[in-house]
Amino acid sequence: MFNKILIANRGEIAARVIRACKEMGIKTVAIYSEADAQSLYVKAADEAYLIGPARVNESYLNIDKIIEVAKESGAEAIHPGYGLLSENVQFVKSCEEAGLVFIGPKSEAIDKMGSKIESRKLMEKAGVPIIPGINHSLENAEEAVAVAEKIGYPIMLKASAGGGGIGIQTVRNSEELTKAFVSNQKRATDFFGNGDIFIEKFVECPRHIEIQILADSKQNTVYLWERECSIQRRHQKVLEEAPSSFLDEETRVKMGEVAVKAAKAIGYVNAGTIEFLVDEDKNFYFLEMNTRLQVEHPITEEITGIDIVKEQINIAAGKDLPFGQSEIKKLGHAIEVRIYAEDPRTFFPSPGEITKLELPSGENVRHELAINEGSVITPFYDPMIAKLIVKGNTRNEAIEEMKKALDQYIVEGIKTNIPMLKEVIAHKAFSEGNTTTNFVEEHLREKLAQL
């Protein structure tokens, strides 16, 4: 087992990994930018190193500096968390070349799944259902229009690289498509350094349901059931739950088996997530694979009792999975909401100092955060500041727990999306399980404008 691990991340996920390491008796090394010098995760680590100025490209994305700090500190392994460098092939290769263990999949697997176009090809070859569309990059807007007319509107125009909803847009006619092609290609180039754009058929009223998998180096691969992540704004998740209220047991098992098949097809090792779109008839289609730990992993931990971060570390240390598929239970229901420092009406970031923070408590309440009163939320990073997770014996119990917890959650000094989350959790459509990806647009657009 490792003696010391460097966490190549910040905020709540850095704090989460540090906690798992401490429980395993592993020393931790934090890195921080000038803007994060007073952050709680920095104080929680055994050692902490300044990595650079506030901007991410000068700090958390500085591969050479991170490798240098890992060597200087004597760390044997690096945990990337999610986002930032977690799916950066060059970073993984740099770790491998430096003799450092990257706690995640090998660079080859990340490379294969890093392109949505290439991953479509691989999944189709492996017999995994994919959404009707094309498996090549579009040359220009004219080709895009020709392809869209052949597939039939509406379509999804999608960037092949990256994530977070960037470079993705629903298009319903050729005029919209011509405008959207140029703007999305530019955004994809600016954010990911890759302007490849492709088209998929738009699935009407879909649900976003994903399967968590774990795989050791001997290709023992299991699925940890599913998470439904359909409540989104701007193609970014804001509420997740496990299990899905929509799936029947037969479909649930079938999706899990397909996810394992997909992982084995690329020789995947460590934790990963296969994301699917599911239509009204429970037909499911491969969307993408996230070759890292997911933001929403806590709800899977709550219903299975499996600590995914610890399993990541064990797998990276060469250990076999200690359980098989038949031993993985599904108990109760868990819901997670993401707390964003943003205006709930416009979704624009709201940086500033947190002047008051009161957190809900209780046996069924879990927090993932690295903030307190006095914390300053800067404009340099993703505006997610915390995650709130609750559990109940049933979905209805979990909903009631979340209602109580959100009522007790007080943040002052900045705006947050808590008012929006309250509207979601109290809505009749949510309680009835009618949670498609257009939930916010369909049910909350007018309500949010009045907040």
Enumerate the active-site residues: 292
**C-beta of residue 235 within 8 angstroms of C-beta of residue 168:** yes
As a whole number of angstroms, the distance between CA 11 and CA 295 comes to 12
For 152, left (φ over 0), alpha (ψ -120 to 50), or beta? left
CA Rg value for the chain:
21
What CA–CA distance (Å, rounded) separates 132 from 202?
Answer: 9
Retrieve residue 412's tokens: 């002052």
Helical packing angle, 297-304 and 308-316, nearest 10°: 100
For residues 20 and 28, is the Cβ–Cβ distance under 8 A? no
Structure tokens at 41: 């995760």
The 3-state DSSP class for residue 42 equals: helix
With beta carbons less than 8 A apart as the criterion, state whether 376 and 399 touch.
no
Q: Determine how many CB atoms are found less than 10 A away from the CB of residue 204.
A: 10
End-to-end CA distance of the chain: 51
Long-range Cβ contact pairs of 443-446 (< 8 A, separation 24 or more): 444/420
Separation between Cα atoms, residue 403 and residue 416, nearest integer Å = 16
Longest dimension (CA), the chain: 59
Element spanning 102, H or E: strand 101-102
- Check if the beta carbon of residue 192 is closer than 8 Å to that of residue 162: yes
**Percent helix, strand and coil across the chain, each to the nearest 5:** 35, 25, 35
Residue in 38, 31, 41 with CA at minimum distance from that of residue 64: 31
Element (DSSP H or E) covering residue 172: none
- Distance separating alpha carbons of residues 386 and 339, to the nearest angstrom: 5
Amino acid identity of residue 67, one-letter, is I
CA 170 to chain centre: 21
Residue 429's identity, in one-letter code, is A
Token pair listed for 14: 């850095």
CA distance 241 to 286: 19
